Structure 1
Amino acid sequence: MTKKDALCIVARRSIGYGDVMSTMWMIRADGGDLYDDFRERSIAAIGWQQLAPHAKVGMTRKELTVLYQKVDPAAKVKTAISGASQVWRFMNEIKVDDWVVTYSPANRTYLIGKVTGECQFRPELADFGMALVRPVAWKEKEVERDSLSDPTKNSLGSTLTIFVVADFAMHELLGEVAGKPVTPAPEVLEEQAEADPLAGLESLAVERIKDVVNSLDWAEMQELVAGILRAMGYKTQVSPAGSDRGKDIIASPDGFGFEHPRIIVEVKHRKGQMGTDKIRSFLGGRHPDDRGLYVSTGGFSKEAYYEADRASVPLTLWTSDHVVRALLDHYEATDAATKRLVPLKKTYVPA
């Protein structure tokens, strides 16, 4: 037994998950937008709608690649090889009792579970990006990204739909779920190293910027949102702490709220999703001509999104993901005060 294997067994014993060497897979279909669907349906799934009806368990990678090119003749060879490889891994390499993890960029949380069955083709879910399904028993407790060490955060940043999670990251995730935090001893898995060192750089950068934004305190977050709105062409009024009366920022063309649109902004910078009660409370104080922007770095429940869609005034919900992407879109136009909150530098890479 190698030193690495011994450390793995000790770590598993310490968090109460037995001695058997297990594998953990990241499955992040549709960029993480299927997170809630995975949990509610007790599944993990991938799309590839055209390939899924014809793919069979036991097919080789080469057979799946040929099949991919047949169902999608316009696909580039590299695209066919990559897509077929991901489908092959999902169908054949992931085993019953393997661990699986998925990520919500909006809520910045990880969901961990165990695979409980073989791959199934689910035609009724194909249009939702879940054509190929593995049944999963998800743990009730979610893991906050901010509770993880930097090495584990970085190791989970690949843009691949499916990849093996490094042992040290798996130990830390399972420790968080079990309520027994584990200090990772980072090791780089050879199979995780991507052929192109720049692959996934943009996605990794966005997640790292989210980490910086999430480390701001509430007042700084409020100033950041106001700074983004100013970069978008609005003038802002920021309420002092404790006296917002249901609004933290007022943004409008004239800076007074006399000209339309008048955007009323509420900023909640805390862990945990905002539910329908918070959305209803915010909407209760709005005038018919107002426009609403509700920012929650902890994300929103599905019911909160439904409530926003039914609102009598136009209401937009921003998670930390929306804040960061808006910041990146308008960073050049932001003022010095905003840049000091989140200092960034531009890097050029081959397109």
Structure 2
Amino acid sequence: MKTTWMVRAGRGSENIEEFLRHGIVAMGDARLGPLSPSQSKADMLRLYAEKYPEEGEGTRATWASQSARFVSEMKSGDGVITYDSERRLYFVGTLSSEYEWAPQLIDSKPHMRRVKWTGRVSRDGLSASARNSLGAIQSLFKLGPDVAAELAEQAVALDTAPEQTPPVAPPVARPVEGKPRSDAELSAEMFDKAGAFVEDAISRLDWEQLQHLVAGILRSMGYQTRVSEPGPDRGVDIFASPDGLGLQEPRIFVEVKHRPGTPMGTKELRSFLGGRKANDKCLYVSTGGFTKDAHYEAERSNIALTLITLPRLRELLLERYEQLDAPTRAMVPLQRFYWPAR
């Protein structure tokens, strides 16, 4: 099987739209200037020492190793994946160029390779072993053959309609290929993986359970909630206010969409906001994330509207977990985990 690489689209997948629109993967940073495949890892180490004297030697060594792999080790024809954390989708493609310096595409990531994106894979359909391996904190790493094979088997064409895929039962996790990491890197990876597995647990809830989870989080903040009964003409999914009757402000209206892989757009937001009053507060929860236009729509809205993605819902759950009532905690049971501070 051909070599396959993970290249992350920035923190929180912030550059995923540019990756897909331009057909690229890219890495930082501009301070290095253009690089060359003829540069050895030792050359990279010297360059990082010159450009980042304030950073520790271990940090510079990690960065130099990743840059060297991106510039020299990755080859046209290799497989490549990236991840959209809002939609919980891995995008699968093939590298179609050697290294290029392209600061005009993404300011923060001028080191670029072209990609032919061909498919996508829902994180919810992968085995726990694959999800654990793909949770590595590095911006760039080589996939093990088992994970690459599973992604290839699960991939569907980009224009295929999304569907709900039940999560696979967890097998024993396999390690990601690579050399031993520092304590700081291992710590960051543990917390990153833990967050991803909490999101997996939330994603496994059905739609009604997710509504009650959101309502439970609001109750932990001091609000009284009312969850609409299933059926047509429901109005809003959750209503919350200090008194539970809406006589005291804030009056909070909540819409909950549990469609992993399907982002909500401006049409859905406008439908939800129809009939809301100027002083109303609105939350729109979508486990499939939101389109870029939907984010712009929320920012311009005359009615206070907050968009809650699955990563943000996970953050709220963890922030409020100790204050949640027992039925809410039971939907996503978590246990405390200790890790050395340094």
Q: Does 1:334 align with 2:324?
A: yes
Name the residue aligned to 1:16.
none
Deviations for 1:33-62, whole angstroms, at most 9, x for unmatched residues?
2112100111101122312x1533221112
How far off its partner does 1:285 sit?
A: 2.5
CA distance in structure 2 between the aligned counterparts of 1:36 and 1:79, rounded to whole angstroms: 28
Name the residue aligned to 1:155.
133
CA distance in structure 2 between the aligned counterparts of 1:261 and 1:235, rounded to whole angstroms: 11
Q: Which shows bigger deviation, 267-276 or 93-102?
A: 267-276
How has the CA–CA distance of structure 1 residues 327 and 335 changed in structure 2, closer, same or farther, with 3 Å as cutoff? same
How far off its partner does 1:199 sit?
A: 4.9
Deviations for 1:107-139, whole angstroms, at most 9, x for unmatched residues?
111101111001111222453x22111110111
1:137 to 100, 112, 116: 116
Letter in 2 for 1:206: G
Runs of 4+ in structure 1 over 3 Å off? 183-190, 192-199, 243-246
Name the residue aligned to 1:64.
44
CA distance in structure 2 between the aligned counterparts of 1:233 and 1:125, rounded to whole angstroms: 46
Name the residue aligned to 1:323.
313
Q: Does 1:263 align with 2:252?
A: yes
How far off its partner does 1:252 sit?
A: 2.0
Mapping of residues 247-262 of structure 1, within 5 Å: 247-262=236-251
2:64 to 69, 84, 88: 84
Among all aligned residue pairs of Structure 1 and Structure 2, give the percentage whose two residues are the same amino acid. Answer: 41
CA-based RMSD: 2.2
Q: Does 1:191 align with 2:192?
A: no
Unpaired runs of 5+ residues, structure 2, are 158-164
CA distance in structure 2 between the aligned counterparts of 1:94 and 1:301, rounded to whole angstroms: 31
Name the residue aligned to 1:9.
none
Mapping of residues 280-319 of structure 1, within 5 Å: 280-319=270-309
CA distance in structure 1 between the aligned counterparts of 2:329 and 2:173, rounded to whole angstroms: 32
Question: Secondary structure at the residue paired with 2:38?
Answer: coil
- TM-score, scaled to structure 2: 0.89
How has the CA–CA distance of structure 1 residues 301 and 61 changed in structure 2, closer, same or farther, with 3 Å as cutoff? same
Deviations for 1:57-106, whole angstroms, at most 9, x for unmatched residues?
22111211221121122111111111111111111111001011001111
CA distance in structure 1 between the aligned counterparts of 2:187 and 2:134, rounded to whole angstroms: 15
CA distance in structure 2 between the aligned counterparts of 1:298 and 1:192, rounded to whole angstroms: 34
Question: Secondary structure at the residue paired with 2:116?
Answer: strand
2:30 to 49, 54, 60: 49
How far off its partner does 1:309 sit?
A: 1.9
Question: Secondary structure at the residue paired with 1:158?
Answer: coil
Question: Secondary structure at the residue paired with 1:213?
Answer: helix
CA distance in structure 2 between the aligned counterparts of 1:305 and 1:126, rounded to whole angstroms: 20
Question: Secondary structure at the residue paired with 2:18?
Answer: helix
How has the CA–CA distance of structure 1 residues 190 and 293 changed in structure 2, closer, same or farther, with 3 Å as cutoff? closer
Q: Which shows bigger deviation, 36-45 or 53-62?
A: 53-62
What number of residue pairs does the alignment pair up? 326
CA distance in structure 2 between the aligned counterparts of 1:59 and 1:119, rounded to whole angstroms: 12
CA distance in structure 1 between the aligned counterparts of 2:34 and 2:290, rounded to whole angstroms: 37
1:207 to 177, 181, 196: 196
Unpaired runs of 5+ residues, structure 1, are 1-20
How has the CA–CA distance of structure 1 residues 62 and 232 changed in structure 2, closer, same or farther, with 3 Å as cutoff? farther
